[in-house]
Structure 1
């Protein structure tokens, strides 16, 4: 009887033009639903989406069995080496991803994954401050959080990015291997936590949502989330990169080691790297595209928006987070101390 039901289900799937399911494990509010619908229409795979709010949450889920539950994941650049080392992902079959050629040169052969053996760039951007422009002037410095805070604020629940921004405020590199500098950054965060204006740590879109709702005046967020919030709340919300600079990031597409549908995963990655689909993705997310072939299709206003595509001068103050190998533990230890006190 079970065989009969399985045969019937397979027959109905074919009759309806569905080949099976593609399962994405992705950040909140990070893909245009219309792109998923278009993928289903073109290739016949139904798309299922599960969400996470931090890289740590995503990796923990993979290690707890998710490595055989999902087909595509979207980790940040500085987590990629660890994910590869933990054998949580499989190499890409580049012959099935001809659109890899569309990536801008600076996203080909990245230092965290030489030759793009395991990853293909998805979006890139920066961190900074979303703030209530109807309450406070544009923040010029991270000092509005770390020196003498005078309004409710939320910090980002991401160790390397949050500590990285404190290090920029202090004049250090976001990739310093000097334990004393990282410990100093931890002390700054502990002082911020003691402020009566500190409202907690939030991952993903949580901080942005609380600023939009009026519960907080400032939040450390990803730029695309803030740009969307500013458009949806004109006159109330805006985004700023403090004068000291901030962290840069690249999120990539990777295929878990035991992905149930690797064929669909390769099709999806290639689909995202199509010029027009890549532009549609960035026009929706309000993040910068790593897809050079997509640039002509990006909304002209976004191409000119320094909150999305920082100026050359601003880029000098921004810094990509690098995987530091054994020295990652310095940041992990300081972050654990900050969160536990």
Structure 2
């Protein structure tokens, strides 16, 4: 009997000596304030995969991180133009395995077709959220300080005489040449994709003309706070940033009323993509998270929380009614048809735009 007990002990001992299996980790790099925290918690509970979640507030920050290589991220959320397009061309993204994403079938084929121009066959990404670039403002301040200025045109901000009248309540332009310059060029009647030196000089002159009247050129996250608190009364930024700020202002009860307006004559349309870096440490977990996000009820929770539309049509009836019925969140078909999607430019043209933006920020 004693020998049997010793033998049993020897057989069992190695089982206790085995190291505990490490919990899998999914490393996500996404925009600031761009997901429902409850979605992250639900995924972790369902899968046992822990999410390490980092944020950025500009495409330049994202591209800088990825261009250095070995970022350590498994899932990133670049805008289709230009960041996602450049990453696709550079071979920096892993082709998606659709067999691991059965909820791909939930995506809107018409919207996916709009990003297929930069990702043939939609091999490297799926649409997460989308929106437009336009104006966020306090209508009462606009009426008081510039009663004759149009509220649905970039004239409200880009005409120096209007900027001068409104400066006292705070003006801002988001810190993103990628998203601002196409809107300025379009307002000037030039192509948003123009590389012509004369067009760029005209756009730079328009920006420098209002530069003395700007209170800030902040990142997206800071801009939302400034709008919500009333520190600024007018900004050129993303549609969802304004809608988020309006919700925060209502919750704070400080009497700050905010409205978003997509510029008449066509607004800059953008799509943010879910993509997996080519050197992702845990691509299996990234695929699982993408599939999870494409569930209608999950996407509905995200849109209800961040107030940006998604590309899963079946989610719309599940979105909070106030968000679902807001035309600034879900634009009318006619407005969407008139929106433009800027293209990715050659590297030399991008460098010229970056230099322009640096001069604008410096005010010279």
TM-score above 0.5: yes
Instruction: Check 1:174–1:255 CA distance in 2 against 1; reply closer, same or farther (3 A cut).
Output: same
Contact residue 229 and residue 249 of structure 2 kept, 8 A:
no
CA positional deviation for 1:113: 0.8
CA positional deviation for 1:221: 1.8
Instruction: Report the counterpart of residue 144 of structure 1 in structure 2.
Output: 156
Matches within 5 A, 1:195-274: 195=212, 197-234=213-250, 236=256, 237-274=258-295
Instruction: Check 1:313–1:108 CA distance in 2 against 1; reply closer, same or farther (3 A cut).
Output: closer
| Alignment gaps of 5+ in structure 1 | 14-18
Matches within 5 A, 1:315-334: 315-326=336-347, 327-334=349-356
Instruction: Report the counterpart of residue 178 of structure 1 in structure 2.
Output: 196
Answer 1 or 2: which has greater helix percent.
Answer: 2
Tell me, yes or no, if structure 1 residue 43 matches structure 2 residue 47: yes
SS across alignment from 1:22:
strand
CA positional deviation for 1:239: 1.7
Q: Determine the C-alpha separation between the residues in 2 that align with 1:162 and 1:52.
A: 18
Q: Determine the C-alpha separation between the residues in 2 that align with 1:286 and 1:103.
A: 18
Contact residue 169 and residue 245 of structure 1 kept, 8 A:
no
Tell me, yes or no, if structure 1 residue 73 matches structure 2 residue 76: yes
State TM-score, norm by structure 1.
0.88
CA positional deviation for 1:336: 3.8
Of 202, 205, 216, the residue aligned with 1:187 is 205
Q: Determine the C-alpha separation between the residues in 1 that align with 2:276 and 2:39.
A: 19
Answer 1 or 2: which has greater strand percent.
Answer: 1
Taking only aligned residues, the RMSD between alpha carbons, in angstroms, comes to: 2.3
Q: Determine the C-alpha separation between the residues in 2 that align with 1:7 and 1:144.
A: 67
SS across alignment from 1:48:
strand
SS across alignment from 1:202:
coil
Q: How many aligned residue pairs are there?
A: 328
Contact residue 81 and residue 323 of structure 1 kept, 8 A:
yes
Q: Determine the C-alpha separation between the residues in 2 that align with 1:312 and 1:115.
A: 24
Instruction: Report the counterpart of residue 117 of structure 1 in structure 2.
Output: 123
Instruction: Report the counterpart of residue 187 of structure 2 in structure 1.
Output: 169
Contact residue 160 and residue 321 of structure 1 kept, 8 A:
no
SS across alignment from 2:142:
coil
SS across alignment from 1:319:
coil
Tell me, yes or no, if structure 1 residue 132 matches structure 2 residue 138: yes
Instruction: Check 1:189–1:121 CA distance in 2 against 1; reply closer, same or farther (3 A cut).
Output: same
Contact residue 208 and residue 219 of structure 1 kept, 8 A:
no
SS across alignment from 1:144:
helix
SS across alignment from 2:323:
helix
